[in-house]
Homo-oligomer: A and B are copies of this chain.
């Protein structure tokens, strides 16, 4: 395994020698962990620059028993929500010079969750972020030691001590209320199969109907992979003449529903109002431009890291852990042209 590293990179000893100090002094300089004489500071700085020295994060991690890194555990790694959240976590982590490790989970392979978690933790990260939009994420929580800083993203309130959730339920409620405000007598709902959390769009929809005393028709649940099911839902709804407004669980579903509605001769928004969720980039281009609810995944990721870092920092400083809390990241409704006021004949 002896690799010919060529001229290997400089190590702390080289810096120390060049600066005429000991390695521990360089270490203290780097970590700000003790006061260093002014002249030595200068010499060390120069030596570092001259050598192009970079501390080995691996050696540091071995010594500290902990790496400056976060692991994120997430199912659906290629979903927009996941990757946008990752991006936020990474950006915030980078500012603290933390590295990001991604370990994907697989809903279809729950048996591997434990092993994947172990793998992710084998690097001894300073903390973990778990996206708890689904069962795999929830399961992952079981395998993470209680003493490791964790932040849960998404999920139900109370699933984690430290949690950042998007306003799923609030958003669902808002969109439904909006339709009700437009005088629709009630709002039908085509839902994606949701995880077992209560912070869901569907619950928000129900909240609004209950609050207004509107009729609650069981939601039609469609697969999030086979969009044809949404089209079929649209057809079914289109055949009922009590359907004037539909809240779709996401934008793809909304599109499918609109398509199905049209197939059976109902126009959107003239005959039926349809709103989506997620505000995907194709929404504004749709005909009609799709009204939707925009979530800020990037922001969620950034907040998740910051919340994690607070815990890590406190631990490293020997301070008390920060107060556990749930942060709700609000989204924003984007009103466009796919819904309109209900006008009875």
B1 touches A316 (CB 8 A): yes
Residues of B within 8 A of A147 (CB): 5-6
A285 touches B5 (CB 8 A): no
Interface residues in A95-111 (C-beta closer than 8 Å to B): 97, 99-104
Q: Is A339 an interface residue (CB 8 A)?
A: no
Contact A285:B255 (CB < 8 A) given known A3-B65, A78-B80, A122-B54: yes
Surface stretch bound by B, among A83-91, A134-142, A196-204: A83-91
A104 touches B91 (CB 8 A): yes
How far apart are the CA atoms of A66 and B83 in the complex, in Å? Answer: 28
Surface stretch bound by B, among A16-24, A55-63, A326-334: A55-63
How far apart are the CA atoms of A335 and B123 in the complex, in Å? Answer: 46
A118 touches B54 (CB 8 A): yes
Beyond contacts A5-B147, A255-B282: 12 other A-B pairs, Cβ-Cβ < 8 A, are A1-B64, A3-B66, A54-B118, A77-B87, A77-B90, A78-B80, A83-B86, A94-B119, A99-B122, A102-B102, A230-B285, A255-B286
* Residues on A facing B (Cβ under 8 Å): 1, 3, 5-6, 54-59, 61-62, 64-67, 69, 77-80, 82-84, 86-87, 90-91, 94, 97, 99-104, 116, 118-120, 122-124, 147, 227, 230-231, 251-252, 255-256, 259, 262, 280-282, 284-287, 297-298, 315-316
A102 touches B100 (CB 8 A): yes
The smallest C-beta distance from A161 to any residue of chain B, in angstroms, reads 18
Residues of B within 8 A of A6 (CB): 147
The smallest C-beta distance from A337 to any residue of chain B, in angstroms, reads 12
How far apart are the CA atoms of A262 and B286 in the complex, in Å? Answer: 12
Q: Could you pull out 27 A-B pairs where Cβ atoms are within 8 angstroms? A: A1-B316, A6-B147, A54-B118, A56-B122, A56-B124, A58-B58, A58-B61, A58-B123, A69-B101, A69-B123, A78-B80, A78-B84, A78-B298, A80-B83, A83-B83, A83-B86, A86-B102, A90-B103, A94-B103, A94-B116, A97-B119, A101-B101, A102-B102, A227-B284, A227-B285, A252-B285, A256-B285
Residues of B within 8 A of A123 (CB): 57-58, 69, 99
